[in-house]
Amino acid sequence: MYVITDRLAELFAAWRAEIVSAPLPPLPERSVALRAIERGREDRVDAPPDGAPTRSGIAAARGTA
């Protein structure tokens, strides 16, 4: 039992070290991120290709949109 736990601890420690050692890319400016989000909302299509209901489509059907 302890062998498995020790091995898992070693694996997780190695995984964490690998993740922590990788440098993070610089984040975009807040204004750039907000513009990208807004563009994504404007370009959004309410009806997906498979016909599944979306939150906005459900709200519109209920009259709460």
Q: Where are the domains of the chain?
A: 25-65
Q: How confident is the model at residue 8 (pLDDT cuts 50, 70, 90)?
A: very high
11-63 pLDDT tens trace: 999 999 998 888 888 999 999 999 998 888 776 666 666 767 666 655 666 66
User: Which pLDDT score is estimated for 45?
Assistant: 61
- In the chain, the amino acid numbered 21 is S
C-alpha–C-alpha distance, residues 17 and 13, integer Å: 6
Q: Measured between alpha carbons, how far is residue 28 from residues 22, 24, 34, 40 in Å?
A: 18, 12, 10, 16
